[in-house]
Chain A
């Protein structure tokens, strides 16, 4: 006799006894054997990779550690951070401007903004960087004065546009085009009724945009902007072609002399990983900050393993 049957037919009635209330029966969670198989396969692969990393001569972790904080590398890192910060500042300020122009009822502004985005998104960033770097070949002297009239200030292009300035122009103006589209999307995501309410209270379109619409658009704009910052961090590595010593170019210069290519590239990889990880954390904090006004319920715990567990009662 293998245990007693769950349901015994009720004598005489010809039908089963009423099923017990569900609360009194134990539920056994579904098993997921394939997940465990998957974990096992991944664990083996990870172990192989780690073993190769640790034992392969080419990686040479000692050299990596030695160059992580070498002066030229830190200088390059600083240049990359500066480039990213300035590019994003230009991108955000210019992006708001171009997006506002694009959505303006003024057809001249709107078309100029469209043209800008079309042009700057169509030409590869690498080409734009080379173009700014070589601007001196096109316009040997840059001058400021009355159009078609006398010149007030004039300077040689190559003295005015250093590699750093060329990098800022190239990265910044390119970024403006992408940020403009991100802001345009954000602005369009705010219901039109918000603008109408602002106008009906006597605000001008500009005040309505800056006081009412943009603050609400920010919430939508943060995730793609976070991606853009990370793109700029990595995209800034392109400036090595115009001889600007950023993180990548600084390690390239070192391995050109000592031929320790892989360890030095690893130095760059690790620094890029650290930068993007910090930026992702910053993005998370920003999103939390700007989600406040929409929170109907207390927000989810940031620790994934705590989700679904009710927060402790305040006592």
Chain B
């Protein structure tokens, strides 16, 4: 259980019976799902269907009411003790989160730090890695997202598309096992969406495990290994992009796809 490399068939992300409600409003209704290593899973669904909440449960930014999630074979937010799951301490959760990259809809770059500072902060402060090494890796990641020249700018001086590419590079500099994308292009001007999707496409081709909440049906069709359609906090339909997007079997999927296309 603690050594994912020994069990290659272990899914990278496994969610089992995840429930979450806000007050009396249920958002996730016993969601169960496996994401294999190297897979790109796109989550589609109307707003309020629980896509973002589920994504935030994966790195414990939201705490599920019941059910559990493992990443690379290890429980997140809990540790096992006999038949109980005991809530983990903050440090333990933080250590786990460091292995999970997350990209937000609103970029959330640290506005008091330069681009390079944004990339270097967590590896240096959290992992205590040597600065020179981190800087080298950070600059390589900036080149990878096509922003090598902007290392010394502040986030406020960048376009939305550039900020989101920096956010991706920042997550990558922690060398995560999984990348979570929470509607990464929804806050962007239409002409800037392409540059961010290009970076994500490149990541997928490199074999990164990705869970992507998106409304970009074209991206899902082209890049996703599988597409899941969420409805009322459950998976209504999951399968290859061709089957879910081209030939949806669920009534709700059809209705949703008709509105976004």
Contacts and interface: CB of A to CB of B under 8 A. Distances in A.
Interface of A: 191, 193-194, 196-205, 207, 211-212, 215-216, 292-296
Size category, B interface? 20 to 34
Interface stretch (B15-23, B25-33, B119-127, B199-207): B119-127
A58 B166 CA distance: 69
B121 A211 contact: yes
Given A205-B90, A216-B112, A294-B156, A199 B126 contact: no
A172 to B, nearest CB: 29
Contacts of A198: 110, 122
A194 B110 contact: yes
B95 interface: yes
User: Which 5 A/B pairs are nearest by Cβ-Cβ distance?
Assistant: A202-B98, A201-B122, A197-B108, A193-B108, A200-B102
A201 B108 contact: no
A302 B90 CA distance: 46
26 contacts: A191-B106, A191-B108, A193-B104, A193-B108, A194-B111, A196-B61, A196-B104, A196-B108, A197-B102, A197-B110, A197-B167, A199-B97, A200-B59, A200-B61, A201-B122, A201-B126, A202-B94, A202-B126, A204-B90, A205-B90, A207-B126, A211-B121, A211-B125, A212-B110, A216-B111, A294-B111
A205 B61 CA distance: 12
Nearest to B90: A204
Contacts of B122: 198, 201-203
Contacts of A204: 90-91, 94
A293 B101 CA distance: 25
Given A197-B167, A202-B97, A204-B94, 17 more contacts: A193-B108, A194-B111, A196-B108, A197-B102, A197-B109, A199-B94, A200-B97, A200-B100, A200-B102, A201-B126, A201-B174, A202-B99, A203-B122, A215-B112, A293-B111, A294-B111, A295-B156
B249 interface: no
B154 interface: yes
Nearest to B106: A193
Contacts of A202: 94-95, 97-99, 122, 126-127, 174
Contacts of A203: 94, 122, 125-126
A215 B118 CA distance: 14
Contacts of B97: 199-202
A292 B157 CA distance: 11
B201 to A, nearest CB: 22
Contacts of A211: 121, 125
A192 B170 CA distance: 18
A212 B125 CA distance: 12
A207 B125 contact: yes
B113 interface: yes
A197 B171 CA distance: 10
A205 B97 CA distance: 13
Contacts of B121: 201, 211-212
Given A197-B110, A201-B122, A293 B154 contact: yes
B100 to A, nearest CB: 7
Contacts of B91: 204
A217 B63 CA distance: 27
Interface string B192-230: 000000000000000000000000000000000000000
A211 B100 CA distance: 20
Nearest to A207: B125
